[in-house]
A and B are shown apart, each in its own frame.
Chain A
Amino acid sequence: MDEVFKALADGSRRSLLDRLHARNGQTLNELCEGLAMTRQAVTKHLVILEEANLVTTIRQGREKLHYLNPVPIHQIGERWIRKFERGKLAALSELKRQLEKRDE
């Protein structure tokens, strides 16, 4: 679990996860597109994310595709967010979203 928190404690790595969240199953080239990071930096971050099991890959033909793997985050949720709290947290998130939308 240390690895998960270490991997998440970096803005570049979180932005890679955001990109996969927006579109799952990208190649390294696709992930590098439009990023201000070098290909080597992206590769290095992906290794850390894979070691933390936050990103998983699969080979499809000649391509290696990257996927956001939320399983470790789910396990963190199971450990600290009890079942009866989940509804309240969802309601609070929704309230925040609605209030922020109004300010747009």
Chain B
Amino acid sequence: MNLDQFKPLTVYTIYIASTPEKVWEALTSAEFSRKYFSGFAVEMEPKLGGSFVVHAPDGSEHIRGEVFEYDPPRRLTVSWNVNWPDLVEKLGTTIVTYEIEQAGEAVRLTLSQRHDRELSDDILSGGRTGWPAILSGLKSLLETGKAPHIEMSPPVRLLEALKAMGIKVP
């Protein structure tokens, strides 16, 4: 896959009082992700070309992807494909990159979500609702040892848009 064809459509930055190594671990381990990502478990084979899977709290496979850039603890790029029938066929692959940089005593974490085509704000609203909550939770967890429980309401706008495109949603 040629990553140059993917344009960032959503980019978020957060500063966390932590170390790049701890941020990397929190992004790539189920033990951490369950605490800040509404019970979702991130499981990654730590190598280029390895698998990247996110299990929902009920144990089902929610996201399946592959590791495209692997440079711990600085840069990680994975494909982030939600396992709903026809979704990848209609929306194309979603690419997610985490960039981790030291910024004084803090760490600057930048997340970008890239696509190979233009997508509507309705489709992008899912990530735009979810990511700030996930990143805030990650920050709280690393800084205080505890992530607040953030009630994530279903992404209604996204689900409606997917239905309109003929994609079956749960």
**B53: Cβ under 8 A from any A Cβ:** no
Chain A residue numbers with a CB within 8 Å of B7 are: 25, 60
What residues on A are CB-neighbors of B15 within 8 Å? Answer: 53
- Inter-chain CA distance A49–B116, complex, in Å, is 28
Number of A interface residues, CB 8 Å? 17
CA gap between A65 and B136 in the complex, in Å: 23
In contact, A61 and B12 (Cβ under 8 angstroms): no
Name the prevailing secondary structure of the B interface residues.
strand
What is the total number of residues of chain B having a CB less than 8 Å from a CB of chain A? 20
Say whether B39 faces chain A, with CB atoms less than 8 Å apart.
no
Report chain A residues within 8 Å CB of B136. Answer: 71, 74-75, 78
Contact of A69 among B8, B12, B148, B151 (CB under 8 A): B12
A12 interface hit (Cβ, 8 Å) = no
> Apart from A25-B7, A53-B15, A69-B11, what 19 extra A-B contacts exist at CB < 8 Å?
A25-B8, A56-B11, A56-B13, A56-B110, A58-B8, A58-B11, A58-B110, A60-B7, A65-B8, A67-B8, A69-B12, A69-B13, A70-B128, A71-B13, A71-B132, A71-B136, A74-B132, A78-B148, A83-B151
Task: Report the Cα distance A25→B132, complex, angstroms.
Answer: 17
Cβ of B58 < 8 Å from any Cβ of A?
Answer: no
Q: CB of A27 within 8 A of chain B? A: no
Report the nearest B residue to A74, measured CB to CB: B132
Most A CB within 10 A of own CB, among B15, B132, B151: B132
